[in-house]
């Protein structure tokens, strides 16, 4: 039969919050309750009746609590198939009671890893009995209901209130699916802890949180964000985030985190269309917007400083999708929330993952994030002309932007302001020509500017074009067999060239 009545329950949980109402409801229904340790004490403290698992197994909890429920007297009652005559005869022979409901959670392994480096403490939080109970009850979901976490208590309580101590097969199967989700996530966390040292080359990720999106990259595609955005930012205002919003946010946060001075970043389709660092935030905003006010329309804005009302009033003149900052004054919030769909986010102190992955073909590509950022000390002069202090600052600035732009890319900058970039081109020459054309169209003079490239120059054509446009200093990774041709051109024409030895492809 698909309907099963709960006559007995095993309850053994680490977290007791939310449990009281369930236990009282089970008591009202005369459900026989077996329990262990602290849970047994908790139930007794409520004035309710429970039986110790030790009395069922005739063995005490041993090895400092490592072994409590691992016994045929417990698992037999969970795994016995109620329609199997042989199973029921064995239960009767060994005086094992059927167990119809299992409520169990797991030791907080992930939380322990976050809070301590003590390996002994971490190992002790690897649950053995609990995970075994979860798997056993979920396997026998035709007869047993498994509740594998406190987040499922409200649903269990609703069932108990609406249908009494009866459950359907469909309900038990849903809870079983969540149970295997719980066990697989837990095992993945343990494996990743051990594999941080062992480096076994396999791919394992598990994220239980999911954030539904209106759609994917396009309206005809479904999309979901797996993770909890609330861990990364607090949303103050605006519509729900979209798939493309999240991609742009990731690009914006990754880029703004590179800067220490007052800086604004404007992102459009994962690339920077405006960046400026200044002595004060309002100048940083005005100069970032001046880079490309056309592309900035509908973009994502990020800054590394709290936004006040004065700055907010300037920003409010632009139509944009999202702004993210460490904070906003009350006046700034009042200004920016006048547009109902505008998304306003307060950045939290959360560090992004140190690696990234993407699915393709029939597998997954995994890599460390590009966390290499070059300072002036990382740049080697390979030409005769010494750069000025400002040109060095500008090359560091431009090289940061080029690192976060789609390849092939060229970035032109002056006075810590993005003049223009050529991005996502199949030719580095095309990327440079695009950048020059764009800079000129927005009224920038490139005289005295610097150029950054994400990869080496296979030919001297780029430095020649840049020279004629007014560029005086170039930073690039180097590494081409024909590096010397570009170096020689710079020497012969009084340009500075610095090499970093680090390529920054981004695809």
Q: Decide: 265 and 347 in contact? Cβ < 8 Å.
A: no
Q: Decide: 190 and 27 in contact? Cβ < 8 Å.
A: no
Which long-range contacts link 203-206 to residues 24+ away (Cβ below 8 Å)?
203/357, 203/364, 203/366, 205/357
Candidates 52, 49, 27, 58; CA nearest to 38 is: 52
Candidates 365, 366, 386, 334; CA nearest to 498 is: 386
Report the side by side order of strands in the sheet with 320-325.
Answer: 233-237, 343-347, 320-325, 299-303, 262-268, 271-278, 417-422, 410-414, 449-453, 471-476, 496-499, 380-381
Q: Find tokens 């396009």 and name the residue.
A: 218
Return all residues near 79 (Cβ < 8 A) that are at least 6 apart. Answer: 136, 139, 140
- What is the separation of C-alpha 341 from the centre of its chain, rounded to a whole number of angstroms? 24
Return all residues near 181 (Cβ < 8 A) that are at least 6 apart. Answer: 208
Q: Decide: 449 and 419 in contact? Cβ < 8 Å.
A: yes
Neighbour-count burial of 306, counting CB atoms closer than 10 A to its CB (0-12 exposed, 13-18 middle, 19+ buried): middle
Catalytic amino acids? 139, 269
Distance of alpha carbon 187 from alpha carbon 204, whole angstroms = 10
Q: Find tokens 């030409």 and name the residue.
A: 383
Q: Assign 147 to helix, strand or coil.
A: strand
Neighbour-count burial of 29, counting CB atoms closer than 10 A to its CB (0-12 exposed, 13-18 middle, 19+ buried): middle
């Amino acid at each position: 039969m698909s309907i099963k009545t709960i006559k007995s329950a095993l309850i053994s949980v680490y977290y007791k919050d939310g449990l009281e109402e369930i236990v009282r409801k089970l008591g009202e229904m005369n459900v026989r309750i077996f329990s262990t340790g602290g849970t047994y004490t908790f139930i007794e403290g409520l004035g309710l009746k429970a039986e110790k698992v030790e009395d069922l197994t005739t063995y005490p909890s041993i090895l400092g609590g490592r072994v409590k429920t691992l016994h045929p007297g417990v698992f037999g009652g969970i795994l016995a198939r109620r329609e199997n005559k042989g199973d029921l005869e064995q239960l009767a022979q060994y005086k094992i009671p059927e167990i119809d409901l299992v409520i169990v959670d797991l030791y907080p392994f992930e939380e322990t890893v976050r809070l301590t480096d003590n390996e002994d403490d971490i190992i002790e939080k690897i649950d053995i009995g609990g995970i075994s109970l979860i798997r056993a009850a979920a396997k026998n979901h035709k007869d047993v209901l498994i509740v594998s976490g406190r987040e499922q208590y409200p649903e269990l309580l609703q069932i108990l209130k609406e249908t009494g101590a009866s459950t359907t097969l469909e309900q038990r199967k849903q809870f079983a699916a969540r149970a295997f989700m719980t066990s697989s996530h837990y095992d993945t966390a343990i494996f990743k802890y051990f594999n941080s040292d062992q480096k076994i080359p396999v791919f394992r990720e598990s994220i239980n949180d999911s954030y539904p999106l209106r759609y994917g990259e396009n309206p005809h595609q479904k999309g979901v964000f797996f993770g909890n955005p609330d861990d990364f930012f607090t949303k103050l205002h605006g519509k729900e985030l979209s798939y493309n919003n999240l991609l742009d946010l990731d690009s914006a946060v990754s880029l703004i985190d590179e800067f220490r001075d007052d800086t604004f970043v404007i992102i459009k389709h994962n690339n920077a269309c405006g960046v400026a660092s200044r002595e004060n935030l309002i100048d940083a905003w005005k100069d970032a917007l001046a880079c490309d006010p056309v592309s900035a329309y509908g973009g994502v804005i990020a800054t590394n400083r709290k936004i006040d009302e004065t700055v907010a009033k300037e920003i409010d003149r632009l139509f944009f999708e999202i702004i993210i900052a460490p904070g906003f004054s009350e006046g700034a919030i009042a200004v920016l929330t006048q547009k109902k769909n505008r998304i306003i986010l307060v950045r939290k102190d959360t560090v992004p993952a140190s690696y990234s992955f993407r699915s393709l073909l029939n597998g997954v590509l995994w890599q460390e994030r590009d966390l290499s950022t070059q300072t002036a000390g990382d740049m080697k002069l390979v030409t005769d002309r010494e750069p000025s202090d400002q040109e060095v600052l500008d090359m560091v600035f431009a090289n940061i932007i080029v690192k976060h732009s789609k390849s092939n890319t060229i970035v032109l900058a002056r006075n810590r302001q993005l003049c223009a970039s050529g991005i996502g081109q199949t030719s580095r020459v095309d990327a440079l020509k695009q950048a020059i054309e764009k800079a000129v169209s927005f009224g920038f003079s490139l005289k005295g500017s610097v150029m950054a490239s994400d990869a080496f120059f296979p030919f001297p054509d780029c430095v020649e074009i840049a020279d004629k446009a007014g560029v005086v200093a170039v930073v690039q990774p180097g590494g081409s067999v024909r590096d010397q041709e570009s170096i020689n051109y710079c020497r012969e024409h009084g340009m500075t060239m610095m090499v970093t030895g680090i390529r920054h492809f981004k695809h």
